[in-house]
Amino acid sequence: MPKSFSNVIRFLVVLYFYCGMASISYGQIGGRNAFGFTSMAFEPHVSSLGGMVLGQTTTSMSGMDFPSVLQNGQKEVNIGYTSLYGSSSAFAVQYIMPHKRLGVLQVGTRYLTHGLLDRRDALNTYQGKFSANEVDLYAGTAFTWENYRFGVNVHGLIGQLEAQNSLGLAVDFTAFWEDSSGLTTMGFALRNLGGEIIPYAGKRRATPTDLQFGFSRKLKYLPLRIHCTLHDLYRWNLRFEDSLTSNSSNLFGLPEDQSIGGFGKFTDNFFRHVNFGLDINMFQDKFWFALGYNHQRRMEMAIPNRNGFAGFSLGFGMELNLWAFGYSYAKHHLASGFHGIRTTLRFHKKAKNSVEN
Cα 285 to chain centroid distance, Å, stands at 23
CATH number for the domain spanning 94: value is 2.40.160
pLDDT at 162: 86
With respect to residue 319, please indicate whether it lies within any of the assigned structural domains. yes
With respect to residue 189, please indicate whether it lies within any of the assigned structural domains. yes
Instruction: State how far the Cα of 202 lies from the Cα of 341, in Å rounded to an integer.
Output: 37
Number of domains in the chain: 1
At 20, the pLDDT band (50, 70, 90 cuts) reads very low
pLDDT at 248: 53
At 13, the pLDDT band (50, 70, 90 cuts) reads low
pLDDT, one tens digit per residue, over 59-71 is: 667 788 899 999 8
Nearest Cα to Cα of residue 248 among 224, 234, 264? 264
Mean pLDDT of the chain: 83
**Strand, helix or coil at 207?**
coil
Query: Above 50 in pLDDT, residue 1?
Result: no
Query: Above 80 in pLDDT, residue 32?
Result: no
Range in 37-51, 123-137, 290-304, 310-324 with the lowest mean pLDDT: 290-304
pLDDT at 236: 85
pLDDT at 68: 93
Instruction: State how far the Cα of 100 lies from the Cα of 15, in Å rounded to an integer.
Output: 30
At 147, the pLDDT band (50, 70, 90 cuts) reads confident
Amino acid at 279: D
Domain ranges, residue 43? 5-238+273-346
Taking residues 140-166, report their average pLDDT: 93
Query: Above 70 in pLDDT, residue 226?
Result: yes
Query: Above 80 in pLDDT, residue 356?
Result: no
With respect to residue 66, please indicate whether it lies within any of the assigned structural domains. yes
Amino acid at 298: R
Highest mean pLDDT, choosing among 18-27, 117-126, 255-264, 282-291: 282-291
What does residue 167 show for φ and ψ, rounded to 5 degrees? -125, 140
With respect to residue 111, please indicate whether it lies within any of the assigned structural domains. yes
With respect to residue 228, please indicate whether it lies within any of the assigned structural domains. yes
pLDDT at 47: 94
Nearest Cα to Cα of residue 66 among 42, 50, 83? 42
Query: Above 80 in pLDDT, residue 14?
Result: no
Taking residues 321-344, report their average pLDDT: 91
With respect to residue 196, please indicate whether it lies within any of the assigned structural domains. yes
Q: How many helices (H) and strands (E) does the chain have?
A: 4, 14
pTM of the predicted protein model: 0.83
Query: Above 80 in pLDDT, residue 6?
Result: no
With respect to residue 191, please indicate whether it lies within any of the assigned structural domains. yes
At 189, the pLDDT band (50, 70, 90 cuts) reads very high
Query: Above 60 in pLDDT, residue 21?
Result: no
Instruction: State how far the Cα of 314 lies from the Cα of 310, in Å rounded to an integer.
Output: 12
At 260, the pLDDT band (50, 70, 90 cuts) reads very low
Taking residues 212-222, report their average pLDDT: 93
pLDDT at 23: 43
pLDDT at 91: 97
